[in-house]
Amino acid sequence: MPKQFRARISSLEPTPREVFFNRRKFLSTVSMGIAAASSQFCRASQLGEDERLKPPIQRPDVFPATRNAGYALPEGMRADLTPRVTAASYNNFYEFLPGGAGPVWKYAGDFKVDPWKVEVDGQCNNRMTLDLDDIFAFPHEERVYHFRCVERWAMNVPWSGFPLSKLIEKADPKPSAKFVRFTTARKPNQMPGLRETSYYPWPYQEALRIDEAMNELTMAVTGVYGEPLLKQHGAPLRIIAPWKYGYKNPKSIVRIEFLSKQPKTFWMIQPHEYGFLSNINPNIPHPRWSQARSYWVGTDQWFPTPIFNGYGEYVAGLYPDEPRTPQEPLRSGQVAR
């Protein structure tokens, strides 16, 4: 991890992550000694290396999906893919591993993603309950996108799935639908991070404006690197909106809701740090670090952060007032964009 890395959480994380995990490791070692080999963390530590890259679902009829070469990586950007194992080893998924990115895969052993249901409801004419067959029935394609976490690590990843607009069209939103909210799985018996972090507003929810959700870049993602999504990447269904910070890309979705009013989202509990729009913008510093530069995940190689992550040709028109000159960091009490 580069020296410059600083934890996402400040005041909200009562237990620093190192302490949290050392304590867990200590407790699980003790409990193993006593006999309770059923502890999540005991079992987690026994996960074999092969678990890290093993898709939890098999769909040979869908994967690998044909790559859509129409979506090139942003110009001037390094063009090679991030190694699959690197992307699968350093993930953000607080339900399993709170406090920042890390080896989520080690803690996802108990997570069950098949069967799965996604409720589609709210302000739409065609409410639906989708199962895995319904989700995989959408015509799939692969797109290589540049991805950027608010913590500053970045990667180039081939995601498979379909434009979210296809699902939205099927649901037939009413004119009153102005926002789309995504609710993600909350399964404390399968997600060890949930059990330790009652101070967070679970379940993890994110939302987009309907025009953002309908944008051609926004994907409903079911696969990565030519195979079904790994648990640590958000199996079986997540969102990728590549011009927004990673936290606007919710994982393991169980509900998609059309709303008339802008909802509160998970990270807005720290409103001066994480706004609703959260477009990637080098001019808007995080209150505790600059966003002007990014680094390739797993390396110490830094590069300038492009505005909208390099996808301005698709999305700049949605945000005529996006700041184009360096801004002052916000203070507590202010509200981020």
Binding site for ligand MTE (CB under 6 A): 91-95, 149, 184, 204, 233-234, 246-247, 249-252
CB of 137 to ligand MTE, least distance (A): 24
CB of 228 to ligand MTE, least distance (A): 13
Cβ proximity to ligand MTE, 91 vs 215, nearer residue: 91
Instruction: Identify the CA nearest to 157 among candidates 166, 148, 167.
Output: 148
Cβ proximity to ligand MTE, 130 vs 154, nearer residue: 154
CA end-to-end span of the chain: 28
CB of 251 to ligand MTE, least distance (A): 4
Which residue number places its CB atom closest to ligand MTE?
Answer: 246
CB of 184 to ligand MTE, least distance (A): 4
Q: Among all chains, which residue has been given the structure tokens 């059923």? A: 38
Residue 111 is classified by DSSP as -
Burial class (CB in 10 A: 0-12, 13-18, 19+), 214: middle
CB of 266 to ligand MTE, least distance (A): 8
Cβ proximity to ligand MTE, 149 vs 208, nearer residue: 149
Count CB-CB contacts under 10 A for residue 300: 10
CB of 234 to ligand MTE, least distance (A): 6
CB contact at 8 A, 223 and 174: no
Residues 6+ apart with CB under 8 A from 283: 292, 307, 323, 324, 325, 326, 327
Cβ proximity to ligand MTE, 95 vs 142, nearer residue: 95
CB of 255 to ligand MTE, least distance (A): 12
Q: Among all chains, which residue has been given the structure tokens 């996006």? A: 322
Cβ proximity to ligand MTE, 20 vs 247, nearer residue: 247
Cβ proximity to ligand MTE, 173 vs 256, nearer residue: 256
CB contact at 8 A, 249 and 155: no
Cβ proximity to ligand MTE, 132 vs 157, nearer residue: 157
CB of 240 to ligand MTE, least distance (A): 9
Cβ proximity to ligand MTE, 147 vs 179, nearer residue: 147
Beta strand extents in the chain (DSSP E only)? 91-93, 97-102, 117-122, 128-131, 141-148, 153-163, 179-184, 205-209, 219-224, 227-228, 238-240, 253-259, 293-296, 302-304
Strand partners, 153: 295
CA 178 to chain centroid, in Å, comes to: 22
Q: Which two tokens stand for residue 68?
A: 């859509």
Within the chain, what is the greatest distance between any pair of CA atoms?
62
Q: Among all chains, which residue has been given the structure tokens 């953002």? A: 212
